[in-house]
Structure 1
Amino acid sequence: MTDDEVVEALRVVASAGTLPPPATPEAVTSAEEVIGFSLPPLLRRLYVEVANGGFGPRQGILGVRGGAAQGNFADIADLYQDGPDPSGRIPAGLVLIYDWGCTIWSLVDFRDPAGDMWCNHEGACWPQGVNLAEWLTGTLAGTLTVETLLESQPTS
């Protein structure tokens, strides 16, 4: 799917009224300032044009300030605030966006405009081999699951 097709597909989901309203441009800018990287363009569009998080798998991705939370996690900047990862296992610019449970996270690479997706589990961090558009398309179709994420983990 193209970015426009992803935006339109998520607009259909948003029209059901189950997602938070879109983020303000100021909330997005504030998150970028905390994180130190610009949001990938598709993620920015989704937050500002469709909904402030809540879309994607199950209960949906985290939003920026005022958007969808997940458990104790308020927003993507809140998670990133203390630094990308004190252990050094998660490179700067990778932003936690979705908690699958059992310490399994999907992350978006803010260093890349395509928003390459990464996975973090039990101290290991690896690329998922898909970008944000492909990740969202897979979660909408039900073809991208926590099991497929763990299957992509490199063996060492």
Structure 2
Amino acid sequence: MRERAEEQTGGLAPCVGEQDVVDAERILGFSLPPLLRLLYLQVANGGFGPGYTLLPLVGDGRTAVAEYGPLRDSRPVYWPRGVLPILDWGCGMYAAVDCLAPDAPVLLFEPNAGPDDWADAWFLDSPSVAQWLTSWLDGTGWWEEEVMMAEDGPEPTPWPDAARRLAAGAGR
């Protein structure tokens, strides 16, 4: 993973320290899934991965922790508790990890269709962070141009827990 990340970027950002992760988890109010935690501790503090690359966890500028707060505080509620944005695809779209689910699925938030129900803007991108990263390493993710053009290419599916999770967060 680190080798591919270095190849992609030409030089990685420094990793975060254990205390940075502990502080981030305290601010967020939930723990990071083990693999996501390891990425930030052992590969880099963002700046690698598919598309526009992973957001840094912490630091100056845009970070996963800094993005989460305003998204969660929005009215109407369109961002579930425990779903951490990890990548900005542009045009309001995010890849995010459901940090409260045991398998840590990667979700796609795609608000551009102008849904009447925000649950319709949430999609399951990958069943786990590990599978999502494998798709990046193998070049088989839906975001890859060749995959998008293929008639039988994978596409994100509606996230079945979206409505329930959004409703649970509405009462804060």
TM-score (norm 2): 0.71
Deviation of 1:55 after TM superposition, in Å, equals 2.0
Percent identity of paired positions between Structure 1 and Structure 2: 37
User: Per-residue CA shift, 1:9-39, capped at 9, x if unaligned?
Assistant: x121345552111111121112111111100
Take 2:47 and 2:156, find their aligned partners in 1: how far apart are those partners? Answer: 25
1:56 partner SS: coil
Q: For 1:77, which of 37, 45, 65 is the aligned residue?
A: 65
Q: In 2 relative to 1, CA 40–126 (structure 1 residues): closer, same or farther, beyond 3 Å?
A: same
Residue 156 of structure 2 is aligned to residue 152 of structure 1: yes
The correspondence of residues 14-93 of structure 1 with structure 2, limited to 5 A, is: 14-16=5-7, 17-66=10-59, 74-82=62-70, 84=72, 86=74, 87-93=76-82
Structure 2 runs not aligned, ≥5 long? 112-117, 159-172
Q: In 2 relative to 1, CA 104–45 (structure 1 residues): closer, same or farther, beyond 3 Å?
A: same
2:127 partner SS: strand
Supply the AA of the counterpart residue of 2:106.
Answer: M
Q: Which has the larger radius of gyration?
A: 2
> Are the aligned partners of 2:84 and 2:99 in contact in 1 as well (CA < 8 Å)?
yes
Residue 93 of structure 2 is aligned to residue 104 of structure 1: yes
Supply the AA of the counterpart residue of 1:143.
Answer: T
Structure 1 runs not aligned, ≥5 long? 1-9, 68-72
More helix by share: 2
User: Per-residue CA shift, 1:26-53, capped at 9, x if unaligned?
Assistant: 2111211111110000011111112111
Q: What CA RMSD, in Å, does the superposition of the two structures yield over aligned residues?
A: 2.2
Deviation of 1:59 after TM superposition, in Å, equals 3.7
Q: In 2 relative to 1, CA 140–53 (structure 1 residues): closer, same or farther, beyond 3 Å?
A: same
Deviation of 1:99 after TM superposition, in Å, equals 1.1
* Runs of 4+ residues over 6 Å off in structure 1: none
1:139 partner SS: helix
Count of residues in correspondence between the two structures: 139
